[in-house]
Structure 1
Amino acid sequence: MDNILKYLENTAEKFPDKTAVDDGNQQFTYQELLNRARHFGLSFLNRTEPGRPVAILHEKSSEVLSAMFGVVYAGCFYVMIDPEQPLERLKDILTVLETDLVITDSTYRHQLDDAGYQGQIYLLEEEPSDEAVTAQELDKLMERRSFAKNTDLLYGIFTSGSTGKPKCVAVSHQAVIDFIGHFTKQFQITDRDRIGNQAPFDFDVSVKDIYSAITTGATLVLVPKRLFALPPKLLDYLCDKKVTVMVWAVSALCLISSLKGLKYKIPEDARLIMFSGEVMPVKQMRLWQQALPQTEFVNLYGPSEITCNCTWYPVQREFQDGEVIPAGKAFNGRTVFLLDDTGAEITEPGKTGEICVAGESLADGYYHNEEETARRFVQGIIASTGETARYYKTGDLGYYGEDENLYFAGRKDFQIKHMGHRIELEEIERAFEKLDGVSRCCCLFDKKRNKLLGFYTGDSEEKEVHQELKRYLPVYMIPAKIRKINKMPLNKNGKIDRKYLAEEWS
C-alpha cells in the first residue's frame, strides 16, 4: 500500500466497532474515526491545494487525530504546532510553512492574530459528523487521492535549527509505511494491544504510537498532559486503561521512577516499554526492571530526520552504575555507520565518530530549506556496502563496543573544550549517576563564564556530591557549581530542559 489512509480504511473495515482512540474524555471507534476524518477532508478540500502544508494549532486529542487524517484525505500534509510555542517561534513556523490553512479552536485563535497570520482558519468547533460520507462525497475524496503518490508528504515536524530558526522535517507516506512495517513486526504489536501515547503530536515519538495502532488495529490511549504533574494519577490512568505498550521519552519514565511512583502502583498490563530521546540512567532503568520483571524493555535511538528510529537494543539484564545501555543494532531496512572527521568510515571498536544513517525512511529533507537539507542529507559511497546512497548526518557521536553494538556518545555540540581538555558532558553526568544520593542529573557548560554547571535531584547535599565526584572524575571535569533541585524541568517533548536550567543559573 502506498498511502497511509489505506491502512486506516482496511483497519476500519476489519475492526469497525473497536475503540481506535481514547483521550480520557472522548473515544472513537475505527469506523467513527474514519467517518470523521473523511468529513474533515471534505471540509478542507476547497480551502487549500493538494500537496500543501496544513497547520494544526492544538493539543493532542481524539478530535485532533481525526482532523490530522482529514488533512491527508484533502491531499495535503499536516504539521502539528504546540499552542504553548512562544509568539516569535510561532511566527517563524508560519513563515517557513507559508500555509494558507490553519486548524485550531477559539481558545487559540488569538495566537494566530497576534502572529499576523493572514490565511484561512478552520475552527474545530465546526465538528464533523460521525455518519458515513455519501457515495458522491466519497468520490470527491477518492478523486483527490487518485493523484497521490507514495512519495507525497504525510507530515512535517519542527525541530530547532542551528541558525536559531526552526526547521521542518518533511516525511513521506512511504517513509512511515516502511518504518512502521518493521517496527510492528519486530515488537509484535497487534490489535490486542493498547498503546499508551505519552508524546505530544508535534514530537516524532507519537508517530510510532499513531501508526502502529492504525496499521494493526491496536487501541491508541492518549495520556493527558496534565497527568505528568501528578505521578499517582498518571499511574492510575495507565492501570485503568490497561495500557500494554509504552513508547515514552526517557524523562517521562524517570518522572515516575525517581519520584517513587512505582512504590504506589505498577502498570502491570505493560508487556513492552520502549524509551528514547535521551540516555536512560541505569539507576532508573533498574527500578523499572525490578517493578516489572516480566516486561520487555527496549532502548531506541534515532532522530526525526530518519523517521523515528534506526537502532534498537533489548535490555535483558540489569546494568550497573557507570555502565551505558547500548543504542544497539540497526532496524531492517536501515544502514547505520560512523564517520570520522575526514569522512572515513569507522569500523574498529571504541573509536568515536558521527552517526550516519542510510536506507529506508529518510525524510525528504527540511521543508523550504534547501541549504540545510543539502548540508545534512548527502550522497556518498558507504564503505561497508560499497554502494552510493543518500544518507543523513545526525550530528550525534557514537562508537562500537566489543559486543558489536552501537553506543551513543553524545551530541557533537555537547563536546566542549575546558581548561585545555576536550570533555564530553555525558561522561560527567554518568559520574553523577554513580552516586547513591543522586537520582537524576544534568551537566551544562556556561561559555560566558567558562564554567561547568551541575544540577541533580536526590538526597545528598551539594558538598557531599562535590566530594564524591572526586572518586570518578579528574578535577577539571568536576563542575565548579553544583546545585540540588527538587525536580528536573522538562521541555514539551519530555526531555530535560537544558535551556531553562541555563537561564535559571544566570
Structure 2
Amino acid sequence: MEKWNGTIRNVLEYIEHSAREYPSNPAFRDDKTQVTYSELLQQTRRLGYQIAKKISGMRNPIAVFMDKSVECLISFFGIAASGNFYVCMDTQMAPERIRKILNSLQPAAVLGKSIQNEKLFSDYLILDYEELLAAGTEEGKQQECLKNIRRNMIDADPLYILYTSGSTGIPKGSVISHRSVIDYAEWVSRIFQFDEKTVFGSQTPFYFSMSVLDIFTTIRNGAALQIIPKKLFSFPVKLLEYMKETHVNAIYWVPSALSIVADWQALDYVALPQLHTVLFAGEVMPTRQLNVWRSHLPEARYANLFGPTEITDIGLYYILDREFSDEEPIPIGVPCENIDAFAVTEEGKLIGKGETGELYFRGSFVGCGYYNNPEKTQEVFIQNPLQSSYPDPVYRTGDLVRLNERGEYLYQGRKDFQIKHMGYRIELGEIEHAAGSFQKLERAACIYHTGKDKIILIYQGTAGKEEIMAYLKDLLPAYMMPEVMVQVPAMPLNANGKIDRKRLQEQYGET
C-alpha cells in the first residue's frame, strides 16, 4: 500500500481503503469464523450506527467484555465508527478488578455477547453484539448518521483505553488517540514492509498494548490476522503445525512464548519456511532461546521492540544485524521514526556512551495520559527536563537504559527494580540475564527480599544450585551473586504471558 502522506485522520480509513483494494481478502480469522474486508466494513458501519442510536453524544468510553475473537475486533471498529472509543476488558479478570476499572471508567455502555454477570454491570447500559448486528440496516439513515459523526471527529480523538496495573492497586487507563495509532501503523508497515500477503499470528490478548501492532498494521495493509488459540502455547509442536496450516508468516510475541518453542525444541520437528518476520517485546528476550530460533530460521528477520502502553506500544527498536553469544544482551535499539528517546542521569544530564539513565519519550506515539486520573498523569507525563523554554510534554518511563558504543540503548531494568545491596547499586535484570544464558535453565527471575537484605534467584530447569553458582561466578561480581535460590516446576506467568514478578515477590520476597 502506498504511503498515506499524512492525509489520514481516522483508523477507519484503513478499513475503507482495504475494502476497496482487497474486498475478498480475509481480514480477521479465528477457529470459528473469518471476516473479509468487504464484510468487515459492512459490519463495522452497521454496528457503529446501532451504537450511535443507543448512546447520545461522542467521545464516550465503551467497555468491550468479550473473549478474544473476530467479533471482539469488529466491536472495536464499530465503536470507533459510532464516534466513541473502546476499552477492551479481560473476561477472566477478577470481579474486584473489573469493578475498579468500571469505577474509573464510568462507561457509557458495556458491549458483549450474552453477558451473564448482570450484577457486575447492573449500573451500566448493556449492548448485545448480536442483537445490534441483527437490527435493520436503514441504509439511508445509517449513511447520513455515520457521515455526520465522521465530520465531527479529529485525529486527536481517543481511539481506545488500555488499563495497566497501578502501584496503589488502582488500574491506570492509558488513553491513545487515532493519530498515535496511525503514526505507529505507518512506521511499522514501512520498516518491516508488511503488505496484503502478510498473515499475522496473534498471540497477545487484545487488552495488552502489543496487540495494537497486529490489529492496525493488518487493516492498514489489507493483510490477515490469525488468532492463535491460547491453549496451543502449552503444546509447542501443535502450535507450529497450526501456524503452518494457517500460513502465518509474521509474529509479534512476548519472549516467554518464543522461549517455550525453543526450550521444547519444537522447531526440530516442524519447519516454518514461510515465517519471514519474528518480532518480540514485553520483557527481556533471552539470547540463548533467540539463538535457537535464528539457527532454525536464519533467513527470517528478527527485531527487538521496546516501549510502554503509554506510548501506544513501541518507541525503540533493534533489527538484529549481527550474531550474539548466549551471554550477550540484545539491544533495544534506536528511536522509531518521529519519536525522540533520550535518557537522563540522576543529576539531570543527558547520558553519554557507557552511561546509564532513566528513559523518556516524546513524539506522536505518546498517549494523552491516564483516564480520570490527573494525579498519576502529572507524575509521568511531564515537561521535558532538558528544556523549559516552551511546553514540551514527555513520558517518563521509569526504565533504566545504557547507551553502548554503537549508539544503541540496552535495557538495564526498572528503576524500581534497582536495589542497593552491600553498598552497590544493582540491576536485578543483569542477574536474570546471566542466569538465563545457562543451558540447563529454562527460565530465571530475580527478586530482592528487603527485610532479609538478600538477592533471590527463582529458576525453572534441571541444574543444581552449586552448578548455577559456578556458572554465574564467571559472569557476575561477588556482590551480585544470589544468596538464595529457589527451584520451581514452572515459572508463573501473568495474563499477558510474561513472568509474573508480582506473584514471585509476594511468595518469596515478603515472607
TM-score normalised by structure 1 residue count = 0.94
1:153 lines up with 2:158 in the alignment: yes
Deviation digits for residues 135-160 of structure 1 (CA, Å, limit 9, x no counterpart): 33121122222211111000000111
| Structure-1 separation of matches of 2:107 and 2:233 | 32
2:448 corresponds to which residue? 445
Name the aligned partner's letter for residue 402 of structure 1.
E
Task: Tell me if the contact between 1:429 and 1:443 (Cα under 8 Å) persists in the aligned partners.
Answer: yes
1:180 lines up with 2:185 in the alignment: yes
1:370 lines up with 2:374 in the alignment: yes
Deviation digits for residues 63-99 of structure 1 (CA, Å, limit 9, x no counterpart): 1111111111111000001012112211110011011
1:360 corresponds to which residue? 364
| Structure-1 separation of matches of 2:464 and 2:334 | 39
CA pair 218-129 structure 1, distance change in 2 beyond 3 A: farther
2:464 corresponds to which residue? 461
Deviation digits for residues 327-379 of structure 1 (CA, Å, limit 9, x no counterpart): 11111101111111232222x11111011111212101111111111121112
CA pair 100-172 structure 1, distance change in 2 beyond 3 A: same
1:334 lines up with 2:334 in the alignment: no
Residue 354 of structure 1 aligns to a residue in which SS?
Answer: strand
CA pair 354-411 structure 1, distance change in 2 beyond 3 A: same
1:34 corresponds to which residue? 41
Task: Tell me if the contact between 1:59 and 1:200 (Cα under 8 Å) persists in the aligned partners.
Answer: no
| Structure-1 separation of matches of 2:275 and 2:502 | 33
CA pair 215-222 structure 1, distance change in 2 beyond 3 A: same
1:486 corresponds to which residue? 489
Residue 426 of structure 1 aligns to a residue in which SS?
Answer: helix
1:94 corresponds to which residue? 102
Name the aligned partner's letter for residue 38 of structure 1.
R
Match for residue 76 of structure 2 among 68, 73, 86: 68
Name the aligned partner's letter for residue 170 of structure 1.
V
| Structure-2 separation of matches of 1:215 and 1:386 | 38
Deviation digits for residues 447-485 of structure 1 (CA, Å, limit 9, x no counterpart): 344332212222312332234333333444222321223
Question: 1:499: Cα distance to partner?
Answer: 2.0
2:15 corresponds to which residue? 8
What aligned pairs does 1:110-121 form with structure 2 within 5 A after superposition?
Answer: 110=117, 113=119, 115=120, 117-121=122-126
CA pair 120-127 structure 1, distance change in 2 beyond 3 A: closer
| Percent identity for Structure 1 against Structure 2 | 36
Match for residue 293 of structure 1 among 281, 294, 298: 298
Deviation digits for residues 7-46 of structure 1 (CA, Å, limit 9, x no counterpart): 1111111111111111121100011111111121122113
Residue 496 of structure 1 aligns to a residue in which SS?
Answer: coil
Question: 1:167: Cα distance to partner?
Answer: 0.4
TM-score normalised by structure 2 residue count = 0.94
CA pair 199-173 structure 1, distance change in 2 beyond 3 A: same
Task: Tell me if the contact between 2:287 and 2:328 (Cα under 8 Å) persists in the aligned partners.
Answer: yes
> What's the RMSD between the two structures over aligned residues?
2.0
Residue 413 of structure 1 aligns to a residue in which SS?
Answer: helix
Structure 1 range deviating more: 163-172 or 440-449: 440-449
Match for residue 126 of structure 1 among 128, 131, 138: 131
Residue 384 of structure 2 aligns to a residue in which SS?
Answer: strand
Name the aligned partner's letter for residue 30 of structure 1.
Y
| Structure-2 separation of matches of 1:132 and 1:397 | 53
Question: 1:430: Cα distance to partner?
Answer: 2.0
1:105 lines up with 2:110 in the alignment: no
2:432 corresponds to which residue? 429
Structure 1 range deviating more: 11-20 or 480-489: 480-489
Residue 474 of structure 2 aligns to a residue in which SS?
Answer: coil
Question: 1:175: Cα distance to partner?
Answer: 0.8
Deviation digits for residues 383-404 of structure 1 (CA, Å, limit 9, x no counterpart): 6x99862211111001110011
2:52 corresponds to which residue? 45
Task: Tell me if the contact between 1:39 and 1:129 (Cα under 8 Å) persists in the aligned partners.
Answer: no
| Structure-1 separation of matches of 2:199 and 2:266 | 21
Name the aligned partner's letter for residue 442 of structure 1.
A
Name the aligned partner's letter for residue 350 of structure 1.
G
Task: Tell me if the contact between 1:32 and 1:130 (Cα under 8 Å) persists in the aligned partners.
Answer: no
| Structure-1 separation of matches of 2:134 and 2:274 | 34
Name the aligned partner's letter for residue 416 of structure 1.
I
User: Any stretches of 5+ residues in structure 1 without a counterpart?
Assistant: none
| Structure-2 separation of matches of 1:260 and 1:104 | 39
| Structure-2 separation of matches of 1:181 and 1:131 | 36
| Structure-2 separation of matches of 1:122 and 1:233 | 37
1:477 lines up with 2:485 in the alignment: no
